[in-house]
Structure 1
């Protein structure tokens, strides 16, 4: 692939487009003709099946200033400052055992946790004694829980215990007593039912905007078990009726958590499938969600059941949400105008999605935009959001889909042909973008061939010209230090071992000099045919029968991005062209080229060219006689350039940019800001024919 943006053209086009943007009024007053909502709903955990799935069986919340818990707007519980509270979904579970011995219960819990992240120890009072139930999972059906029980109810997990209460499936079916006048009255009934040997829990509902208190009796998995529970409750003097298994309720369980050597009780609320429980900070502190990397969030956290999984949604002030998005998406050291451009783009994009995720507007990952709570905020991001408060880009009176990417590799993508194949008038491809920022101050790397025949990368400052040549007349370089790492790609990755090490004075051949691996210019480590075949078949609509021998970019779009690849000469359908990133193992962009190390072109004596995709068994005549090629070797082409080759297929993917390349390039916005352009000029440069409007209510 040839990149079509040359410096002179790029600067001229860039200047002309920016002048046009300024002429359009980028520094003038912002119109006020749009309504911007006050809050936004951000899904932290959500199960929407194949569309989006990030789940947790339990969510653990805490706030330094305490929590207030509400159901249907009615406050029913509180937690002190720093006190953890847990939440899950009330469903079918595998009860592995029930015992009076906490040590045994915790030991079994730890054993089950080696194979499941949904294991619990629940403490109840039954027949005047504390008992501990070890359960696993949260299953949609009794049948699913029964299958799970077969796995867990073995000596491997139960430690061979035979004197404990037999394992069973428990479920959300229960009978219900109440409502009671107070939580204390409900607790008295709970004690009475526990004394009769029944599983009983405090339960909360909302009635006319106030908390209503109940006791939920039993954990039945079928109607027969439910009838027996109701009779036993009646014998204990408690009138109970069948409870709604799909209703809006929350059950309080006393669960034991393992914290080092200590076992601590913690309140766990199991929400019914129709419930939406809200946790709000009692003071000014945020809410920590332990399972979301212990991040802390402004606003409130809603917990509900969706598709039989726990949904965790952060409802937060829109502008405060943007504090974190801007701070998480770009560096705090970037110019203020780039920060403002990001703020307006992020605000606009979030509004364009509507309720894009069933019960949430956005998710907290890059599928929407990066959101990491209060920890992602910076002073610079907050200032940018406040300076642009309520400002949104519109087209035809509606917020635009203001998509952006980290780095467009010097030129923006064309949506109609290169990304998602739809026409969006304000997303214009082919716009030159000053994206070189990631390379500033970085050294180049030499791609070298070692005496062993291995090919890799050495940083340029660790090499120098030796003043000598090898037998083929090729200039040699020498290593300037001991233990110099030879890397598989031009970057230092501490978790990846070097492919070799070279010492001072060692001679190497330089094939080419390349930039360090960044978001602007990158080169992946050599990929094997098997690795590529596996990755491609995960995306290909028609699976490819191996082996993979050749891989090439067969079509490119207006900006030079790949829009089609061929494997073994056959085009591969992966749907949208942007899916090629995932199909090739998660490469950074589709602005790439493929070097096939196992394919060479031979010029024959008659002048015709013949391509070979495997050179195993080739005979080579040299000064020392005839030999057979194997492994790695170097070719001196007709143009005098050196090329690394292999006797079997191998592939090196190189490219520019990071992301889909549509709309604003974040690094490009920084480049423009560094040149003195304001945020409105930057936005109007990347998004064509749009207006910047302000919330009309302000």
Structure 2
């Protein structure tokens, strides 16, 4: 006798559900199975190795062993086929049922994992397959506990994990008819199917299956994470909204988490009031921040006198701080700047590369008297709420049992119980269940067919507990009716099922009839002919309706000729030798290789088809009329020929090439992942190009024609006076203009506008002439009161007088005059009254970077900037100022093969440089030729270049770290173009060289 799944919940489980801090479940909720959405990596075709026996719930087709293939069709349906049984089913969705529920009876293997339970499959609107594993509670927990922890963890830690994972998933169950309750990644909790060798995991789950945690009678949603960094957190601290209350949780120091050597943690030690060494990244960060305070870059670090990590992120926490204070002395220009106060965001320690683990979330510090150092910690992998998995592991290793572990991490919770029985085997559609055990005093009145997955309850009402669920299509004996509930016996269990979900046939007066075979919609008497064609495979079913659930009239041989009249849900309605029926479209080849028509399409809009772009990987590939090497060859394709793939048929792609449709062998095509919309002509449908709105102007004198909007950009040459220009846009005092076929920039001061740009384009600002900033010689000091002049001449205009002893920045020396800067003003000083402050012997100070040298190894300027990624246009390509075909301007149009530089990517667009200008290019028309030395970054769709200056001397580096190689030292007020900003670093160019610089020294607002 088969046993039926039942989940019996004690009274304590059902009380006071309103206090539930997680998504609520009613008292009548059925927790016998868990619905898990499995990761499929956007698959449209998926093969599953089968061990054991399974059947299709929709039509009862069974299979055993072999390989099961699921395929998404273009019409939104999916097809199921088996390596031994052939075509099993086609429909909008399918339920694949396991014949026997015990783990030893077999499994489905895919994604390198073995799965127990049943599978609900459908095609999403995106065309990808969605697979939901419907699995008994215990079997689900086998696949969670073994991967959230490990089979090698102590058994008491595994038991604690089993209870935490169980309470979490049960509180995630929203409604009984939800498609799925939870995913299989760490976003929810990791689930990787069944591993029979995980004996410790299985034991931990089985021995605690009846235990749960409750708060005030309601099940607790038990959050947990890898580590907490030495202190637990609260629900409302980790998630500001939507995750419930803090009931059951508390803030506590967790030294066991820190004691576990596997807990991820970073730390730095800083000597206080004594000589010593610190990490190079910390050393350079301190000098950089000190330089921002005193206005000159220090050359050494004298002493660090005090450090404090402070300002708690939340109330009552001690190991989650937000700021750092330091008091220290530095050496700059031969002088000691003492007692400098630094106060900065603690996250700067990560930005500057002092810490490097981006997954850790909290910072805190403490003074270590034994070493005389202040220690700063970077810790916590995860949100820190509830159980620390590393803390639980360490506690179990030191003798704690699972109940004490859970009491520490969920101090406000109590233990309660549920009773769980073994899962029952499902009843195959059309089979009559065993009715040998009939309740006394009742009579068999008929049979019923279950019309949906429905609860089988202990009594005639939803208030009664459910034994489990009857699957759609199951046939049950009926022993009378109580109100709107039929009484039945299934696998020895006496229970009730709602009459709303049963097609009942009485025993007396009629014989129970099988479910009626659906009849296809009537066909018009004189249907319009869609085309003539033939069968492309052997033994193809010729069916009475458009689905595998319809009966087969006969098998059609390969090459059988037919006439097609219509396409319905992936099936052609055809006639063969005067007989009408349906054939799956994947086995039909019409005489003309044209795209499949869209059903019920209106006459006005031209049909479009979804396709994926690809490239032919070798030369001489045959493009054929049919999915067969014996079919006619339409043409041969060369390597790198672009194709648009509509669908896959066996080992062949159905594709469009230069407007022609046909088939080519899939092994010779590399898909790019770019989605393309094709018209009926087989060519991409491109958005209509907006017509540029322009103005006209005339040059008022001889003027430079530059590559960009500023004097720092190279000049194409000089435009003569009275030359007519086409004006495209005005930005910061520069017109973007075109002369003939060339586009560039001209200062608005030298243009007389004859036809104005549209008002919305105007953004005229007064041009600020750009000073050429020579290299800095160093610092100087006036030796007497001296005149500060506009030019290097005593007859030049006097800007003011500078007192004796004042510090000035010196840029160059020529004919007895220094080009200098004082209080932000540039001018000239007579060299006789200025002395250089010696820089050649700069002190390193008492605190040095690890390695003993104040100058980082290899810190001399390399001169080698970052190499950008490169690409080329695969066809005519518009270069735009925005990542959109509407609302922006076309800056230029590239011909096929023209190259550009790639800065980043956003959605379907590349952020690129072309002829020195930044803009956007549509990915589908760009072939990436090299990824450069920095790769292709992800950027926002609002990214735009910024023309600006440095605010002080700053290194241009090859990476986003102060330990990265220096390309050059950029002087103060150097002109730069910032293209992207990342967490405290700018990616920019200076004099044509690309690299990274700290944002602290770049004027950004």
**Whose Rg is larger?**
2
TM value normalised by structure 1:
0.41
Q: Would you tell me which structure has more strand in proportion to its own residues?
A: 2
If each structure's helix is expressed as a fraction of its own residues, which one has the higher value?
A: 1
